[in-house]
Amino acid sequence: MTMHTKAAVLWAVDEPLRLAEVELAPPGPREVLVRIEASGVCHSDWNAATGASATRLPAVLGHEGSGVVETVGDAVTTVSAGQQVLLTWLPACAACRACRQGRPVLCEVMRQQMAAGSLPGGGFRLSADGRRLHHYSYLSTFAGYVVVHERSCVPVPAGTDMDVAALVGCAVMTGIGAVINRARVRPGSAGVEPGSTVVVLGAGGVGLNCIQGCVLAGARQIVAADRLAAKRQAALRFGATHVIGSAAGDLAQAVAGLTDGLGADYVFVAAGAGSLIETGGALLRRGGSLVLVGLPPAGTRVSLDPLAIADGSLRVLGSKLGAARPQYDIPRLAGLYQAGRLRLDELISGRFPLDRINDAMASAKAGAQLRPVIVFPGACPSPAPP
């Protein structure tokens, strides 16, 4: 039976999200109804709201979520009612060429369906007053309840802090995966090779997890750059060995001083600014790697020196969701957190109810928060009128 749930709807670009009671159709085959308990607010949500990235509208945004399975559709085998789950926007098809190569983040089927604003398989479950609402990144977690594919659900142990769990599906996986899976930062070898020097540009939710990934990878020097002093202090807590403002000249001088003028082995651009990509490219040593993690607005163009790239044997890498394999990587990250090797609680710098979604979005855009989280004390479903 169709139910009603509260959701934050983006009706048009550059408008505030509006809270509305929307209709949610029941889950179909291999789909699951999840009661949302927490949803992170990511810069990608802001990109959608401002038109910086193309998004089918009207839509319910949100793609970092956690919650409890309420009911399951036919043929669901991986989760059951009552389970706590973390949601991932990467339920790849498992059949296309990229998936068969073990690269689910490049799934072509997923890419086409996300662009259409549908669920896997092409279905739609959200509407308002008879008008279709599009899904965002297969999830739409700015709502009390969601219908998702079972492959979007990763079970977590009972009693897990769901506020924290919500962030693992995007911010944590994106940052740590960029270091471990995509760039494969090299540790040092005692008496043979010194550890790597890494620069992380941007110390927000994703950048701090790049820093944590560098710690896990055994990097020797981790330089974090951010324009905000509070975020530089946070970077030190998360494992940075040096922090500095984001002015290009200051960065170049600092990195040169730390590396005898040779430059960094890796630079991770964790903020969506084209100018930082150019800054990062100039900080590399020969043989270094520039890793693009943050998402700049569509159409952004940057200038890199092709001679320096070729002659210096530099790598320029894109990293989407940290080259994740969610069903494998997410439990591994959860284990590291439970073992005390990841700082995740400290990522949450503000909790907001759904009716303050625009405040949370604005704080994320302004850089005032590491990661705002929308918390749901309870969503009371009601049957739709006949």
Token pair of 242, please? Answer: 């040096």
pLDDT value at position 381? 45
Tell me: domain 175-322, CATH 3.30.930.10, correct? no
| Nearest partner of 139 among 59, 85, 63, judged by Cα | 63
- Calpha distance 384→386 (Å, rounded): 6
Segments of the chain with pLDDT less than 70: 189-193, 367-369, 378-386
pLDDT value at position 47? 87
* Residue ranges of E strands in the chain: 3-10, 18-24, 31-40, 59-60, 64-72, 84-87, 126-128, 131-135, 145-149, 153-155, 197-201, 221-225, 242-244, 264-269, 284-292, 315-318, 348-352, 371-375, 382-383
pLDDT value at position 384? 45
Domain ranges of the chain: 3-160+344-383, 175-322
pLDDT value at position 15? 95
Q: pLDDT of 337-377, one tens digit each?
A: 989 999 999 999 899 999 999 999 988 777 666 889 999 98
In the chain, what are the helix, strand and coil shares in percent, each to the nearest 5?
A: 35, 25, 40
pTM tops 0.85, yes or no: yes
Q: pLDDT of 144-161, one tens digit each?
A: 999 999 999 999 988 889
* 8 Å CB contact between 55 and 117: yes
pLDDT value at position 299? 86
**Main-chain dihedrals φ then ψ at residue 156, nearest 5 degrees:** -125, 155
pLDDT value at position 1? 80
What residues are paired with 89 via a beta bridge?
none
pLDDT value at position 365? 74
| Nearest partner of 69 among 61, 77, 57, judged by Cα | 77
Count of positions (residues) in the chain? 386
Q: pLDDT of 236-290, one tens digit each?
A: 999 999 999 988 889 999 999 999 999 999 999 998 788 899 999 999 999 999 9
Count of beta carbons in the 10 Å neighbourhood of residue 14 = 8
What residues are paired with 193 via a beta bridge?
189
Helices (H), 51-179: 97-100, 108-116, 162-167, 173-177
CATH among 3.30.9.10, 3.40.50.1820, 3.90.180.10, 3.40.50.2000 for 3-160+344-383: 3.90.180.10
Token pair of 167, please? Answer: 């962030």
Task: Say if 3-160+344-383 and 175-322 have the same CATH topology.
Answer: no
CA atoms lying within 13 Å on the CB side of residue 278? 12
Token pair of 256, please? Answer: 């040169």
Contacts 24+ apart (CB under 8 A), 110-116: 110/138, 113/138, 114/89, 114/138, 115/54, 115/56, 116/56
Interacting residues of 47 by C-beta distance below 8 A, sequence separation 6+: 53, 272, 295, 297
